[in-house]
Amino acid sequence: MTEELRRSEKEAYGKLVRMISHEVNNSVGPVSSLVESIALYGRDLPAQDRQRFEAGLAVAANRLDHLRAFVDGFAAVVKLPPPTRAPCDLDAVLRDVVTLLSPILEQRRIVCHWRLDETLGEQFLDKNQIEQVLLNVLKNGYEAIGKEGVIELRGFRDDHGLTLAIEDSGPGLSAEARANLFRPFYTSKANGRGIGLTLVHEILTQHTIPFALKNGPGGGALFELRLPSATE
């Protein structure tokens, strides 16, 4: 029942997003071209007016780019292609993602603790999509922390198999957030769009990888992926 409701909800959101994306992109493209054409007239203006004219057009062009990116973010979720699987060194992927985010983590004074008791090994995954999953989970982690905290990365084996766990030292998930986890476009952030976890859900569901997001024993959010053993 829950999965059927989720599928119906996704289809409804998908139709709405595709319609909005179509209409917005039909307008953004021509308006962007018009702004570029109008900018040519700036050469004929007096110097004191030209600066204000060009600054105003730059603001308009920038807002159009933001609007296009905003809509494309939603469209990416509903147009997500099936995974293209290939052998993938998941330990290396995780290291690369942390390296990519290291300037942000250093700026926020957030430390990554590596506790990989078990290597994640070679997995049969869509590397680009799994990178998006890890980026979104880590982004949620450092945004929840804000400044001065810890993100712990653990790889271990238990009765359920091989697990990758990512836990942050933030405030954890509220009751409202837990009730709406992975709901399309739900967000508790003031400026959020609810795309990140929706994308995570879609990618991992298509990969048939079990996952969970909950509050950890330390009080922060804990994200877990259940992976096949490297030898399987």
pLDDT at position 144 is: 92
Backbone angles phi, psi at 116, to 5 degrees: -85, 85
Alpha helix segments (H runs only) across the chain: 2-39, 47-78, 90-107, 127-145, 175-179, 196-206
Confidence tier at 32 by pLDDT (50, 70, 90)? confident
pLDDT at position 72 is: 73
What letter represents residue 228's amino acid?
A: P
Full DSSP string of 202-226: HHHHHTT--EEEEE-TTSSEEEEEE
Average pLDDT over residues 78-85: 81
pLDDT score of 190 more than 70 = no
Q: Which helix (H) or strand (E) holds 168?
A: strand 161-168
Average pLDDT over residues 1-6: 59
Confidence tier at 231 by pLDDT (50, 70, 90)? very low
pLDDT at position 186 is: 63
Q: Judge whether 119 and 155 are in contact, CB under 8 Å.
A: yes
CA distances from 190 to 5, 77, 180, 194, 213 (A): 27, 21, 16, 11, 21
Share of the chain above pLDDT 70, in %: 81
pLDDT at position 228 is: 76
Confidence tier at 8 by pLDDT (50, 70, 90)? low
Averaged pLDDT score across all residues of the chain: 83
Q: Judge whether 156 and 165 are in contact, CB under 8 Å.
A: yes
* Of 205, 227, 224, residue with least CA distance to 215: 224
- Burial annotation 5-21 (CB, 10 A radius, 16+ → b, else e): eeeeebeebbeebeeeb
pLDDT score of 13 more than 60 = yes
Q: Is 17 helix (H, G, I), strand (E, B) or coil?
A: helix
| Spatial separation of the C-alpha atoms in residues 216 and 219, rounded to whole Å | 5
